Amino acid sequence: MSSGFRSMHPSVAMVYYAGLLLFAALLFHPLFLATEIAGLTFLLVLQGQGRGLLRGLPFYLLMAVSVAVLNPLFSHRGAHILFYFMDQPITLEAVLYGLMMMLVLLTVFILFISYNYTVTTDKFMYLFAAAAPRTTLLTLMTMRFVPLFQRRLRQITLIQRIRGVDAGKGSLRSRMRDGMTLLKVLLTWSLEEALQTADSMKARGYGIRKRSVYGIYKLDLQDKAMLLLFTVSGWIPLFFWMKGYGVLDIYPRMKPMHLGWADAAMYASFCVFVLTPLALEGKEKWLWRSSRHSSYPSATLKKTGTRFMSSHLR
Amino acid sequence: MVLLGPSGGGKTTLLRHLKRELAPVGKVSGMIAYKGRPLSDLPAELAAGEIGMVFQNPDAQIVMDTVWHELAFSMENMGYPPAVMRSRLAEIAGLFGLEPLLYRPIHELSGGQKQLLNLASVLLLQPKLLLLDEPTSQLDPVAAREFIQTLHRLNEELSVTVIISEHRLEEVLPLADRVLLLEEGELRFQGTPRDFVRQAGKEPDSTHRAYLPTASRLFLALQPDAGSAPMESIPLTVREGKRWLHSLDGIAAGKDTNAASGGDGSAVHTSRTLAGTAEGFRAHEDPASPLSPAGASRTVPAPSNELLLGCREVTFRYTKDGVEVLKKLSLSLYRGELLAIMGGNGAGKSTLLHVMNGLLKPQRGRVTLGKGITSGFLAQNPLLYFSYDTVQEELKQMAEYAGLPGERAEREISRLLEIFQLENLLLSHPHDISGGQQQKLALAMVMLLSPDILLLDEPTKGLDPGAKERLAALLGDLRSRGVSIVLVTHDVEFAARYASRCAMLFDGGITSEGAPAEFFSSNYFYTTVVNRMVRDLLPQALTIEDVMKTWPVFASRS
Amino acid sequence: MARFRFPLLIALGLFVAGLALTSALKDRHYMLLSLVLLAVTLLPLFLRLERRPLESRELVLLAVLSAVAAVSRIPFAALPSVKPVSAIVILSAYVFGAEAGFIIGAVAALVSNIYFGQGPWTPWQMFAWGMVGLTAGWLRNTWWMKKKGGMLAFGFVWGFLFGWIMNIWYLISLPDAFSWGLVATAYASSFYLDLAHALSNVFFLAVLAGGWTKVLKRFRKKYGLLQE
């Protein structure tokens, strides 16, 4: 079910996530990174994806923390030496830098969790179709084959057990061998059938001229407004970044953080960029909640509810 | 236009020649013209767009991952602008009722839905000519009927020319304007369906009769002068067949009443006569054996009482919180039986076979095999069995797995090769042989395990009438060797003809079972075409043979 | 809009590349630059796919092999770094050549990550598996690759190379700490995982080699596919 930010045109979401990734990679500043993490986390929770976030978190934290630990161990730049570890100086700056890098990594990880939910691969491919039609087609075909092959593999596994090929029994060696036999059966069968797929493609005129792209997505007024907003609010931080703002210099010694008007403007604009989808999602949530309470008589709630929702389906 | 003929008769080759993009490689002579122009001179767009083709296998034709994507695929190929695509898509989705499916991934669709999608996707290019290569052979009867109805509508309402090759002629032939019979690459017949029936009637033992709808076959069987019968009187559908039978009966009843009382042959009289006939029919058969159709013509021993396999209150579901596919199902199987299990789509027929073979373990209930009894399972798709490069290797490995010592393995293999007529294919790749041969090879592999019970999943799917008969003979042969056979099938005619017992699977359990005659005659819809046609007259008759056997009685009494 | 698409894309690409360079030189922040460089290496190979004449049969073949490779990753999800993908990519490249090998590897990585989760590692995996295919295709006519032992050694080496490539995106986040010591630590910490990958490659190749090349070659011959 798509609603809120997820139901917007893929290009909007793509611009948003590309922008966030860009900021994560460029704006080396704890305030910005923390804002990004907070914004994304809140968006995920609003979209009901908190569980997914929690599931991935241990692994991501491990990766991120390892960076924070490794940096001071191997980097000895910086003015303030905290202590010596195995005859190597551990500096305050290196520790801080490691922590910053941890923030960057966490931002990127959380960004991708949100991205996976909002920009599904077919949306991504839709955006790609104009630039690389054949790659897109190939990827989409592969995406169709994967569930088909999984089902076939299950059938094959079941039937080959009759002839003693069973990837679930025996030593690891024989299990792996049997697993490969099953894959080979899948390969042979699927290749044979693929020729029929190719015929059907040809029969429907594949390759006689340049393909056009059909999209179920329509760039509506709200999408355009969002794109505009993203562009404007995205440019401002980039502009200031090029002027040297929004980056915390840690080496050789950390500069004190001070906020001038330029930093404030940059941060405000950045916040607009990061938080707009949140506002959108929140608004929709609120609308639903209020409409459920007021406008529908309880007897017909379910029916009108679903009908209304289906009109929202992209 | 309907193309018919045995598998390997050149139907597919012909259709492919009509579709330029798919013309097979080889030596071509002669010319194919489309709208007066040679096909090879058509511009590519016209050739692809105006001649559409739908193939046999619903899954293999689909290219994209979701329904709307698949529908758009052909239009994208033609480079239509988005606005055109949108309106055409809307139109077709409405026509086919695909709207609720539009955003579904392909793998959630049923076979019938997939085939309709394939048809819709071709129609988006607005073809003038549709070529269909056995499009319903992989579908269940309900889906197949729906598909053919859709085709009929397209033909009637949009005047699309349809050329279809089919084995399922019961529904298609009455709709056809023209019938073409292809055999060994030659055109053996061309004309209207009724012409075709009459032609077949002139040559009493032609194999072409197998292609006729049942009503026509019954007509030919009972009407010795069918070859010269007036065209309109030849029945093609059940309704026509029934009307014709009743007209015959009217004559017979008329005679009867004339002789007896000189009355006017009223309805009361007629029905009395019929009731008498039915009793006579039963009386005729009962003392010999439990009524089994065509039973007398077979040499299969009567089933014994030795229990081979029993299912006791078996309950099965695929996932922990999934639906129960089988619910407290109980079933027994005796030696020498041929048990046909029928049921709708998704009723759990294949699951039942898997459970019976021990491939799946039921959550509750038990499947018990008799002492030392083994079972073999033949899945719908024989390709699942093959993992080697030649037929010989497949069989050898299987014999090895079955634990047959070298010499016995050789003997067993050569015996099976002979039975299944696969001797010439030993060195072929299992994927290179024909579908029927693949099925036989898979069956031979299963037989190497020397099972006492053979479980077959839809063995008649996609077979032409001749192949079905050969399969039946094979099964009869196996039964005479003491093998019990369980088959799940949609093919009512096949079950009625060859099964010794039939069972209906519905809602996870066996709802009714019995000998074919009782089983089917108690059904109203789920019964053979013959039975539907003659049930008022001979309620227990299921096959043409049954009718023919009793008809003389009927006729002589009148 | 459509007319300006390519200039627009190129302009955007150059802009991001510029940003990346600035960031790298000014702040010693290499994350963006690494992504740009990756894109630059992947681009010509995908461009080649877009441009070369390709029959529908060949396209479907690529899709099937990519999908089989992607599917093969799923049952082994529980075992870290045991991925038959590498072996399948190597064999496909061995039969169908470097370009096909690259495409199969890259697409398999992209599509299988739909199930495993896309992340910053996706382009790196696409790159690594693409390179597995590309190199296997380039070397397929050497005498040692034609021998089973050579192919197994090749798979073994790539098991480590793959891990090392995947370590890069991690190392990049530590520009100041970069030293041979760090590299050694990172590579030592992933040693057992890489070894598992390498050994599983050898094993899968040993099991698959004969049968699969036969199957693939049969198809190439039967339908005249992807002959270079």
pLDDT band at A212 (very low <50, low <70, confident <90, very high): confident
CB B127 within 8 A of CB B52: yes
The whole-angstrom distance between B132's CA and the closest CA on chain C is: 21
List all residues of chain C from 87 to 146 with a beta carbon under 8 Å from chain A. Answer: 88, 103, 107-108, 110-112, 114-115, 117-120
Judge whether A184 is closer than 8 Å to chain B, CB to CB: yes
CB B553 within 8 A of CB B284: yes
- The predicted structure's pLDDT at residue B321: 78
Residue of A nearest to C223 (CA): A195
Distance in angstroms (rounded) separating the CA atoms of residues B511 and B508: 9
Specify the pTM.
Answer: 0.83
The residue to which tokens 């407290």 are assigned:
B328
Using the 8-state DSSP alphabet, how is residue B370 labeled?
A: P
| A236 and A109 share one domain | yes
Helix ranges restricted to H, B19-157 = 44-50, 67-78, 82-96, 111-123, 141-157
Task: Considering only the beta carbons, identify the residue of C5, C70, C182 that sits closest to A146.
Answer: C70
Residue A300 falls within a domain, yes or no? Answer: no
Q: Distance between alpha carbon A189 and the CA centroid of its chain, in Å?
A: 35
Lowest mean pLDDT among A12-16, A86-90, C97-101: A86-90
SS (H, E, C) B27-57: CCCCCCEECCEEHHHCCHHHHHHHEEEECCC
| A109 and A187 share one domain | no
Judge whether C146 is closer than 8 Å to chain B, CB to CB: no
Give the amino acid at C40. V
Distance in angstroms (rounded) separating the CA atoms of residues C166 and C126: 10
Judge whether C19 is closer than 8 Å to chain A, CB to CB: yes
Encoding tokens for residue B32? 């194919």
- Interface contacts (A, C; CB < 8 Å): 184
Measured between alpha carbons, how far is residue A301 from residues A297, A305, A311, B242, C135 in Å?
A: 6, 6, 16, 52, 61
- The predicted structure's pLDDT at residue B258: 44
Encoding tokens for residue A105? 């990594």
Residue of B nearest to C64 (CA): B63
Residue A227 falls within a domain, yes or no? Answer: no
| A86 and A11 share one domain | yes
User: Across residues C163-192, what is the average pLDDT?
Assistant: 75
Encoding tokens for residue A137? 């087609």
- Interface contacts (B, C; CB < 8 Å): 3
Q: What is the largest CA-CA distance in chain A?
A: 76
| A111 and A236 share one domain | yes
Domains, chain C, ordered by start: 1-52 (no CATH), 55-223 (1.10.1760.20)
- The predicted structure's pLDDT at residue B284: 39
Residue of A nearest to C167 (CA): A63
DSSP class per residue in B325-337: EEEEEEEEEETT-
| A115 and A249 share one domain | yes
Distance in angstroms (rounded) separating the CA atoms of residues B85 and B72: 7
What number of other Cβ atoms are within 10 A of residue B380's Cβ? 18
What's the structural domain count of chain A? 2
Q: Strand B501-506 vs strand B484-488: parallel, antiparallel, or unpaired? A: unpaired
User: Across residues C186-198, what is the average pLDDT?
Assistant: 83
- Whole-number average pLDDT of chain A: 79
| A65 and A112 share one domain | yes
| A81 and A145 share one domain | no
Distance in angstroms (rounded) separating the CA atoms of residues B527 and B516: 9
pLDDT surpasses 60 at C76: yes
Q: Which chains are adjacent to chain B, needing at least 3 Cβ pairs under 8 Å? A: A, C
The vertex-A117 CA angle with A67 and C167, nearest 5°, equals 25
Domains, chain B, ordered by start: 2-191 (3.40.50.300), 239-291+529-558 (no CATH), 303-528 (3.40.50.300)
Give the range of the structural domain holding residue A168, as residue numbers without chain letter.
131-203
Judge whether C214 is closer than 8 Å to chain B, CB to CB: yes
| A197 and A248 share one domain | no
Q: Which residue has the higher pLDDT, B75 or A243?
A: B75
Judge whether A206 is closer than 8 Å to chain B, CB to CB: yes
The whole-angstrom distance between C214's CA and the closest CA on chain B is: 9
Residue B316's beta-bridge partner residues? Answer: B326
User: Across residues A148-156, what is the average pLDDT?
Assistant: 89
Residue among B409, B406, B392, B390 nearest B449 (CA): B409
| A175 and A114 share one domain | no
Residue A215 falls within a domain, yes or no? Answer: no
Distance in angstroms (rounded) separating the CA atoms of residues B469 and B475: 10
C-beta atoms of B63 and A200 within 8 A: yes
Exposure of C168 by Cβ count < 10 A (0-12 exposed, 13-18 middle, 19+ buried)?
Answer: middle
All residues at 6 or more sequence positions from B245 whose CB lies less than 8 Å from its CB, including other chains: B218, B533, B534, B537
Q: Cβ contacts (< 8 Å) between B386 and chain A: which residues?
A: 185, 188
Q: Determine the residue among C218, C219, C223 to mutate to test chain B binding: the one whose Cβ has the most chain B Cβ atoms within 10 Å.
A: C218
Residue A174 falls within a domain, yes or no? Answer: yes
Residue of B nearest to A183 (CA): B387
Name the stretches of chain B with pLDDT < 50: 255-299, 557-558
Q: Cβ contacts (< 8 Å) between A183 and chain B: which residues?
A: none
C-beta atoms of A215 and B82 within 8 A: yes
SS (H, E, C) B486-545: EEECCCHHHHHHHCCEEEEEECCEEEEEECHHHHHHCCCCCCCHHHHHHCCCCCCCCCHH
pLDDT band at A21 (very low <50, low <70, confident <90, very high): confident
| A8 and A101 share one domain | yes
Residue A124 falls within a domain, yes or no? Answer: no
Distance in angstroms (rounded) separating the CA atoms of residues B289 and B299: 13
List all residues of chain B from 276 to 335 with a beta carbon under 8 Å from chain A. Answer: none
- The predicted structure's pLDDT at residue C107: 92
Encoding tokens for residue B100? 């609720």
Measured between alpha carbons, how far is residue C162 from residues B522, C106, C169, C198, C205 in Å?
A: 68, 13, 12, 9, 16
Q: Determine the residue among B50, B378, B387 to mutate to test chain A binding: the one whose Cβ has the most chain A Cβ atoms within 10 Å.
A: B387
| A31 and A98 share one domain | yes
| A158 and A112 share one domain | no
List all residues of chain C from 151 to 210 with a beta carbon under 8 Å from chain A. Answer: 170, 173-174, 176-179, 181-182, 185, 203-204, 207-208
Distance in angstroms (rounded) separating the CA atoms of residues B142 and B151: 14
Encoding tokens for residue C95? 């039969």
- The predicted structure's pLDDT at residue A291: 66
Count helices and strands (H / E) in chain B. 20, 17
Residue A56 falls within a domain, yes or no? Answer: yes
The whole-angstrom distance between A219's CA and the closest CA on chain C is: 13
Q: ipTM strictly over 0.95?
A: no
| Percentage of residues of chain C with pLDDT beyond 70 | 85
- The predicted structure's pLDDT at residue A310: 37
